[in-house]
Amino acid sequence: MKKSLSTPKDYILGVSAKAEYQLGILNDLYLQRFLSAAVSLLPKSISKVLELGCGSGHLLSALLPYLENTHIYATDVSKERLTECKLRLGETGSNTLDFTTLSITDTDFEICHDQDLILVRFVITHMKNAQAILERIVKAMKPGAKLFIEEFCVQNEFIARGETFGYYEWPRAHEFQEKLQHSHFDVGMDLLAALKKNSRFSIDLAQINQPILDSEYRKSIIRLGMQDCSQELLSHHFGKEKLAQIFTSLEMFERDAFSFGLAPRSVCIFGTIRDEK
């Protein structure tokens, strides 16, 4: 039976099994490109790594083979995510793990002080004051430490039969999701601009990540949010007729053998905290 979600906060946290499954697919799409750049920029020895908003541990489990004798701090606002993270990470080799419930919007960032590497990935998208939060993280970090970020910078686009299809409908649905989650799916470029101006931060590499949804399996992602949001809320926002049109165009998109989708573009930023002058 479909799990109904009680509050928008539950939805942000991706508590439902379906949301977790879909976030898992999304992670497959985005992770490889982020990971190959991250691994090439990892310092030789890292004593401490912190992930803020680690979710169910997709990124940490992919990084684990590249870490040795490292103390890993996995933090998230959701206890459920941390439990899943623990399960996903399993054997940690010579590394040690620490799981802490922590909300980025309710911390003094003291935990950031002596980390050699901090990871922030697809989490400040969910924050109203993303830029201010990022600047507080940079301020709290020690010189020489690395900060690796990935956040969304552009919304989805779907293309079928040679025309951009669903483009006019989907952003409207997305707009609603953004309001519901207090998320900003175009926050990435603002963060990049802010970090460029930040005298404590030196950008080692910045790149755009553009996953393409090209199989039936992956196309199901277009339903992320729409299935989990209550239909009542959606119909209240769009009106029943508009909502029916949105669903029809998404269904047509899914049936079209030649259609493909561009998942939201993201920006990956890899940088180092400068020495104090």
Ligand X SMILES: C[S@@+](CC[C@H](N)C(=O)[O-])C[C@H]1O[C@@H](n2cnc3c(N)ncnc32)[C@H](O)[C@@H]1O
Binding region for ligand X (CB under 6 A): 12-13, 23, 27, 53-55, 58-59, 76-78, 81, 103-105, 121-123, 126
Least Å distance, CB 215 to ligand X, is 21
Least Å distance, CB 209 to ligand X, is 12
Under 8 Å between Cβ of 11 and 229: yes
Least Å distance, CB 248 to ligand X, is 29
Distance CA 216, CA 260 (A): 9
Under 8 Å between Cβ of 57 and 75: no
164 Cβ neighbours under 8 A, 6+ residues apart: 157, 158
Question: Cβ closer to ligand X: 6 or 105?
Answer: 105
Going by C-alpha positions, the residue among 33, 30, 28, 4 that lies closest to residue 16 is: 4
Question: Cβ closer to ligand X: 55 or 264?
Answer: 55
Question: Cβ closer to ligand X: 127 or 273?
Answer: 127
Positive/negative CA dihedral, 138, 140, 146, 152 = negative
Question: Cβ closer to ligand X: 133 or 243?
Answer: 133
Distance CA 139, CA 52 (A): 15
Question: Cβ closer to ligand X: 59 or 195?
Answer: 59
Least Å distance, CB 46 to ligand X, is 18
Question: Cβ closer to ligand X: 82 or 243?
Answer: 82
Reported as half-sphere exposure (CB side, CA atoms, 13 A), residue 221 has a value of 25
276 Cβ neighbours under 8 A, 6+ residues apart: 143
Going by C-alpha positions, the residue among 214, 217, 194 that lies closest to residue 206 is: 194
Least Å distance, CB 13 to ligand X, is 4
Distance CA 14, CA 25 (A): 13
**Shortest-Cβ-distance residue relative to ligand X:** 55
Question: Cβ closer to ligand X: 106 or 241?
Answer: 106
97 Cβ neighbours under 8 A, 6+ residues apart: 71, 72, 74, 86, 89
Least Å distance, CB 82 to ligand X, is 9
Least Å distance, CB 115 to ligand X, is 15
- φ, ψ for residue 52 (rounded to 5)? -95, 120
